[in-house]
């Protein structure tokens, strides 16, 4: 039942995974709900220029490489001369985006959520200006997401397609001869792998001494080996001090991270992928006395409420990993909390996936983090080369690694490199949610032959008794 003193019970600012899910859940719970979004389509960065279009290109480029690289021929599928139609591949990407963003619009209508088109900014704690209009709400949820972190002194121009961010890298008009990716994190590696498969030479420049910060140390080392094997050039412990564009070429200035002799590197496309920052500019947070922390994030309590009564926040704009599924879970939880229910997100069990080939996935603690936290750690590892289904499919790169507490056998985390790692990690996340032990997984029957048997075997390896290795 709507509160007559306000236009809406719940007003969500932003329609990304956190925002649109919060709005839909609030509508399901009977609250009069609106969602503010300035894009022409719903879904935020993820659906429009992030997770979804990148996966379409990753899949398309994998199919191209399978055909052009001889994988299909190895299995007796002879295609003749293989050529790339980039426009068609981009068209398939656009179709997927259109279907999914349109699907959210349909779900808004189904759940009686009003879409207020325009940018939202606070007038006070219960009033938001949207374009020329002003609306009031008893509860306001900030779900404005994040945007690309700029590299000082490097100007991005996605339309020219020479120095681009992740948005520009999704719509390049042609395959670059040489792409330099600044940043060895998830986004840079995913998009770099797309263009490498389609024929570009790809060089990854990373400031740290390993790729994929935050992931398990063994996974980081193995990932570097695999990307090198696939043809990527890696320049680790290297910083970019400048990028100069002349005509249709860019020249990067590089030097060792710890200082030393400078060098230059020429490219016809530079992808800046050094991270993302919360979107709080233009929200008018000062009008309600809400400041951000040193990282630009909005601090929240366990129920996702801010220090301002009636104002809540979820997703990339609050502390924690900047992941769409984390935002979605928070969106459900905040709506339930507003409705007087108990909405909870277990932030210790948020899986993360790198959608390269093979995929890289993890959940829970790394071995290093577990030891740092004081656990008596034992691990079990099983190589995909010993897995029957991986053998038949000829995709034997990678392993499953399970980290457990030696004293209680409780699973603390898991890390997987495999073609199906993103799907496989869900089993571990579910198991951890129920406080499972490695023995529980080891004695759970897994279908044969499947990639998931490697999880069972890794759990058996924690016990010191893998069968097939």
Q: Is 43 annotated as a binding residue?
A: no
Q: Is 187 annotated as a binding residue?
A: yes
**Is 178 labeled as catalytic in the residue annotation?**
no
Euclidean distance between CA atoms 295 and 311, whole angstroms: 20
Euclidean distance between CA atoms 61 and 358, whole angstroms: 13
* Contacts for 185 with CB less than 8 Å, ≥ 6 apart: 211, 212, 213, 273, 274, 275
* Residue of 347, 448, 451, 468 marked active site: 448
Q: Is 59 annotated as a binding residue?
A: no
Q: Is 324 annotated as a binding residue?
A: yes
Taking the CA atoms of residue 165, residue 170, residue 175 and residue 177 in that order, the dihedral angle to the nearest 10 degrees is 20
Q: Is 76 annotated as a binding residue?
A: no
Q: What DSSP letter does each residue of 346-384 carry, written as one string?
A: -TT---EEE-SSSEEEEEE--HHHHHHTT--EEEEEEEG
Q: Is 206 annotated as a binding residue?
A: yes
Q: Is 425 annotated as a binding residue?
A: no
Whether 202 and 232 have beta carbons less than 8 Å apart is answered as: yes
Whether 153 and 22 have beta carbons less than 8 Å apart is answered as: no
Q: Is 190 annotated as a binding residue?
A: yes
Q: Is 188 annotated as a binding residue?
A: yes
| Cis preceding linkage at 449, omega within 30 | yes
Whether 368 and 219 have beta carbons less than 8 Å apart is answered as: no
Q: Is 183 annotated as a binding residue?
A: yes
Euclidean distance between CA atoms 12 and 34, whole angstroms: 6
Which tokens go with 414? 């898991």
Of the candidates 250, 156, 161, the residue with the CA atom closest to the CA atom of residue 203: 250
Q: Is 306 annotated as a binding residue?
A: no
183 secondary structure, DSSP code: -
Q: Is 275 annotated as a binding residue?
A: yes
Q: Is 105 annotated as a binding residue?
A: no
Q: How many CB atoms sit inside 10 A of residue 259's CB? A: 8
Distances (CA, A) of 126 to 130, 177, 223, 455: 13, 53, 48, 49
Secondary structure percentages of the chain, helix, strand, coil, to 5: 35, 25, 40
What are the φ/ψ torsions at residue 181 (nearest 5 degrees)?
-100, 120
Q: How many residues does the chain have?
A: 469
Q: Is 55 annotated as a binding residue?
A: yes
Annotated binding site for NAD(+): 183-190, 206, 275
Detail the residues annotated as belonging to a binding site. 55, 120, 144-146, 183-190, 206, 275, 316, 322-325
Binding residues for FAD: 55, 120, 144-146, 316, 322-325
Q: Which positions are catalytic?
A: 448
């Amino acid at each position: 039942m709507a509160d007559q003193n306000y236009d809406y019970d719940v007003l969500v600012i932003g329609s990304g995974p956190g925002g649109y899910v919060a709005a839909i859940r609030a509508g399901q719970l009977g609250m009069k709900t609106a969602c503010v979004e300035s894009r022409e389509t719903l879904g935020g960065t993820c659906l429009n220029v992030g997770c979804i279009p990148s996966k379409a290109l990753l899949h398309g480029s994998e199919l191209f490489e399978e055909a052009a690289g001889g994988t299909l021929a190895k299995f007796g599928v002879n295609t003749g001369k293989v050529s790339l139609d980039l426009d068609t591949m981009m068209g398939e990407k656009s179709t997927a985006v259109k279907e999914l963003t349109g699907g959210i619009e349909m779900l808004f209508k189904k759940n009686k959520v009003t879409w207020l088109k325009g940018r939202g900014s606070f007038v006070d704690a219960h009033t938001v200006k949207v374009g020329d209009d002003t609306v009031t709400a008893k509860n306001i949820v900030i779900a404005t997401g994040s945007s690309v972190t700029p590299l000082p002194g490097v100007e991005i121009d996605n339309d020219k397609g020479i120095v681009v961010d992740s948005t520009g890298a999704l719509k390049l008009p042609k395959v670059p001869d040489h792409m330099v990716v600044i940043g060895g994190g998830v986004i840079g590696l995913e998009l770099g792998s797309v263009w490498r498969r389609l024929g570009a030479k790809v060089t990854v420049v990373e400031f740290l001494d390993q790729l994929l910060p935050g992931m398990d140390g063994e996974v980081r080392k193995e990932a570097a080996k695999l990307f090198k094997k696939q043809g990527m050039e890696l320049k680790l412990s290297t910083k970019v001090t400048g990028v100069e564009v002349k005509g249709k070429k860019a020249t990067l200035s590089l030097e060792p991270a710890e200082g030393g002799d400078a060098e230059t590197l020429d490219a016809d496309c530079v992808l800046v992928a050094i991270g993302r920052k919360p979107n709080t500019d233009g929200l008018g947070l000062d009008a309600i006395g809400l400041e951000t922390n040193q990282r630009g994030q909005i601090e929240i309590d366990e129920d996702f409420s801010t220090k301002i009564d009636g104002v809540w926040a979820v997703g990339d704009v609050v502390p924690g990993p900047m992941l769409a599924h984390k935002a979605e879970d928070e969106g459900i939880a905040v709506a339930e909390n507003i409705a007087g229910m108990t909405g909870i997100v277990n932030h210790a069990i948020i899986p993360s996936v790198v959608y390269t080939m093979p995929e890289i996935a993890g959940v829970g603690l790394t071995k290093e983090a577990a030891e740092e936290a004081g656990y008596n750690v034992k691990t079990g590892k099983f190589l995909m080369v010993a897995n029957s289904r991986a053998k038949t499919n000829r995709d034997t790169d990678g392993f499953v690694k399970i980290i457990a507490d030696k004293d209680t056998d409780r699973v603390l985390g898991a890390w997987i490199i495999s073609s199906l790692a993103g799907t496989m990690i869900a089993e571990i996340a579910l198991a951890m949610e129920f406080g499972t032990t490695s023995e529980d997984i080891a004695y759970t029957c897994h279908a044969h032959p499947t990639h998931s048997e490697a999880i069972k075997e890794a759990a058996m390896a924690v016990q010191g008794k893998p069968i097939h290795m």
